[in-house]
Chains A and B, each alone.
Chain A
Amino acid sequence: MHRRRLAVTGIVAGAALVTMLALTLSAGARTSKGYKIFFLPKTTTIPVFTQNALGAKAAAKELGDTITYNGPTDVSGPKQVPFIDSAARQGYNGIVISTSDPNAVAPALKRAAAKGVKVVSYDGDTAPDSRTIFVAPSSNKLIGAIEVQWASDETHNKGEVAILSATPTSPNQNTWIKFMKQELAKPKYKNMKLVKIAYGNDDPTESAKQTQALVQAYPNLKAIIAPTTVGIQAAAQELQQEGKCKKIQLTGLGLPNDMRKYVKAGCANKFGLWDERAFGYLATYVVHNVIAGKLTGKLGQTLKAGKLGTFKVVVSDGNKPVVVLGPPLAFTPKNIDKYHF
């Protein structure tokens, strides 16, 4: 009886050992000069962050730095905390972080800062006192306004509009929605009416379900604005399946690669995004300069970000200090084939 039990234990332990060995080999050893930068996305399971990381790696190559790209598999601030602590323990020089929970990561970022790690946030900002500079993709006001503009362009400026967002707690989603509402309140949009804000939780299935619910609940719906790359793709697929692409216009923020086939099928004629690779590239130049002591977050400081040119530390959307990448790009059937991310 005991022999059998020991045999079982042996088999389990053996299997575990093999797995561990494989992982040990894959982890490998890394030696390099330059700064060590930890690039921490909200989650590694959303493709835009991979694009940010590719840009970050390109910048690091130019600067002679090393990028480690890793993060949790759920969109969760608390799940980012062990990554922050781990980066600090490993003696990283800088952390570039995008978070969904600005306050939950703050204590850990302060612990890291106390060990000399420089912190730059991008995309999803942290609590201001836990980072040196925030790198914004654009101005929130411009993002909100331009999405309403796109919706208006596609619907001849009239009819019912719905918003398909990510989670109700996502700070940048909520800011953009706030500016969309402000924009829609302007007299020139008086014939457009916001009927519903739905939340797809940045989950393809849930987003498709919410799209379906919108289509059913609002028979006169003319446009859906989805300011999330996960949401817009799911919505495009759902609208295509239901054959509603002509009736309901889809706009928002999406990745050209995700949306290409829906654009070709006439299911999204105008949507946009900033250049995600350039975004990661810029954030890496910013953290490099912060580590080097050239940027301290004082307003008016400037930096040269390689091929992107010169940027200034400013106040943006009432937030400071911020470095802004620029206005969003609009993708249309005419230009979509120029972008591959």
Chain B
Amino acid sequence: MTTVSMVQLEEEIVRPRRDPLLIALWVALFAVALIWIAPFVFISFTALKTGNEIMTTNAFAPPRVVAWDNFSGAWVKGNFSTTFFNSVIITVIKVPLGLMFSAMAAYALARIRLRWNKLLLVFVLFGAMIPFQVMLAPLFTLVNSLGLIDTYIGIILPYLAFGVPYQVFILHGFFKAVPKELSEAALIDGASHFTTFRRIFLPISLPVLAALLILDFVATWNEFAMALVLLQDKNMWTLPLGLMSFQGQFSNNYGQLNAAIVMTVLPAVIVYLIFQRYFVSGLTSGAVKG
């Protein structure tokens, strides 16, 4: 009993209750949050309104007649079943695979003494800094010369390539910080690096891996520019490409346009709501440590 009231007392000294500044702050933050969420509301409402209502009612007025056919119409016109499928295939293959490759490379660079470690690391990190948009044209010619335009492999390979730098960077830092005792014991017992990697390093880095997985999932899912260049066949388009094409072709059907936006954005939002904390930890683990 006494401890509780002691704590309460302390709080009251340091921070008087109902600090007007805090209340004002909260109100401000809340108002701004409303502004931040307004676009989502507007888009969702427009997606559910009929063409007539869109042109006559207020932006934030909920639809009087719910036009579900905007969604079905957009789904068909925008070829969503195909683009969704393609996005899933590409993401589901690339993300775990890329992470595995990056983890392997990061482990090697962090824990196996080679002459070239430092150099290779710089070589790889270099790629994290370069905007890949400058390489779209040669990338296209390269993939084309391999006959891989409009194929899953043709886009997964470049995605893998560009995912390596950031992931290796984060994992390298993480692996390097693992105490030597852990791996030394195993190595002395004759375990290969492969085993050490699999049995020791992978398990302890699960949180980081999970965070990177989530971040990479979203980045791959949302990728646009490379897909624009490497996937010309509309049957191979990913969700972002499908949306852009929809905008270009059906920009005057406002209800369907907004429905298309909602359908494109929804998967990422759902993933986010479920795996929230991994996003944050992924961002901060590498960046803050530097």
The judgment on whether A and B are partners is: no
